[in-house]
């Protein structure tokens, strides 16, 4: 875990830590829930939604952080300031120690954003058979992450699309996924996925743009029918997919995907401006 930590300072339960002098533990006695938040111009993007999901994820694994959340939000802003407002992602982790006391750490992490060219051409993805135990909770699963990373490295793909036991595509390993067919936006059902903050915003934007939305299970055979697809997430934003295994798509030139990309970029710009 310490390999992902960057910048000078972290915060533990409200206390500032100099990363040169103290290591953050990587073995925890309980399940770990977490959030990753993008920082732009010193503003934690969509902090309110991330906080809400952190509360829900914690509740699903038996941790009530409702009394802590305002302190966590305040510390997020403090972390950004003491590290001189880096344009990076920060991570919050919450867990219980051996005495059942709630703990949280937050720190900036190595952040990778798609090159501009990928938004013009699209990304390569692979299908990967995996199901998360509690899809709606953002719970750390290092073993699954390591297995997926090995396959991504082997294939040279950007992201893995997860297949459940019914061969339905549920989500990306670090993202949500959407499909376009006949000007209709399809996405897997809420109960099967992590409800991404970016995903929620895209659904809202699609509604405002008059794009029809269908939320249903997506069998892998649907790939042979769809006209485009894309992932959404904190780092990639709205990123077209050009290939899934051997199937090729012209997603980057799909009109609906283009409209959503532009609308989401404008939404980010407006959010930053109103929170400065």
With bands split at pLDDT 50, 70 and 90, how would you rate the model's confidence at 140?
confident
Partners of 168 in the β-ladder: 219
Could you report the per-residue pLDDT of 183-214, keeping only the tens digit for each?
A: 999 999 999 998 999 999 999 999 999 999 99
Question: What is the separation of C-alpha 100 from the centre of its chain, rounded to a whole number of angstroms?
Answer: 28
With bands split at pLDDT 50, 70 and 90, how would you rate the model's confidence at 137?
confident
Helices (H), the chain: 47-60, 69-82, 116-121, 142-155, 197-208, 255-275
Please state, in angstroms and rounded to a whole number, the distance separating the CA atoms of residues 170 and 270: 30
Please state, in angstroms and rounded to a whole number, the distance separating the CA atoms of residues 12 and 262: 37
pLDDT beyond 80 at 119: yes
pLDDT (0 to 100) of residue 152: 95
Q: What is the mean pLDDT of residues 106-120?
A: 96
With bands split at pLDDT 50, 70 and 90, how would you rate the model's confidence at 175?
very high
pLDDT (0 to 100) of residue 202: 98
Please state, in angstroms and rounded to a whole number, the distance separating the CA atoms of residues 199 and 231: 9
> Above pLDDT 70, what percent of the chain?
99
pLDDT beyond 60 at 262: yes
Q: What mean pLDDT is reported for the chain? A: 94
Could you report the per-residue pLDDT of 217-253, keeping only the tens digit for each?
A: 999 999 999 999 999 999 999 999 999 999 999 999 9
pLDDT (0 to 100) of residue 25: 76
pLDDT (0 to 100) of residue 1: 54
pLDDT (0 to 100) of residue 247: 97
Please state, in angstroms and rounded to a whole number, the distance separating the CA atoms of residues 125 and 172: 9
Please state, in angstroms and rounded to a whole number, the distance separating the CA atoms of residues 79 and 30: 25
pLDDT (0 to 100) of residue 2: 57
Domains of the chain, first to last: 2-109 (3.30.470.10), 116-272 (3.20.10.10)
Q: What is the mean pLDDT of residues 45-73?
A: 95
């Amino acid at each position: 875990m310490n390999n992902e930590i960057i910048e000078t300072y972290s915060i533990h339960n409200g206390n500032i830590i100099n990363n040169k002098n103290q290591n953050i533990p990587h073995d925890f006695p309980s399940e770990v829930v977490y959030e990753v938040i993008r920082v732009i111009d010193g503003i934690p993007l969509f902090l309110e939604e991330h906080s809400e999901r952190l509360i829900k994820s914690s509740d699903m694994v038996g941790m009530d952080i409702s009394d802590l959340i305002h302190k966590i939000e305040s510390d997020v802003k403090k972390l950004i300031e003491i590290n001189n407002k880096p344009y990076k992602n920060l991570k919050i982790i919450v867990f219980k120690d051996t005495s059942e006391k709630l703990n949280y750490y937050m720190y900036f992490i190595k952040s990778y954003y798609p090159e501009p060219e990928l938004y013009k051409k699209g990304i390569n993805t692979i299908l990967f058979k995996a199901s998360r135990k509690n899809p709606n909770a953002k719970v750390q699963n290092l073993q699954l992450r390591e297995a997926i990373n090995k396959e991504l490295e082997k294939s040279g793909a950007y992201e893995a699309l997860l297949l459940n036991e019914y061969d339905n595509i549920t989500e990306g390993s670090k993202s949500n996924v959407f499909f376009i067919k006949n000007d209709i936006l399809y996405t897997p059902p809420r109960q099967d996925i992590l409800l991404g903050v970016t995903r929620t915003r895209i659904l809202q934007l699609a509604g405002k743009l008059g794009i029809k939305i269908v939320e249903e299970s997506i069998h892998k055979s649907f790939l042979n029918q769809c006209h485009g697809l894309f992932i959404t997430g904190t780092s990639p934003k709205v990123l077209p997919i050009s290939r899934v295994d051997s199937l090729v798509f012209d997603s980057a030139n799909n009109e609906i995907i283009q409209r959503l990309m532009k609308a989401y970029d404008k939404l980010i710009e407006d959010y930053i401006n109103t929170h400065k």
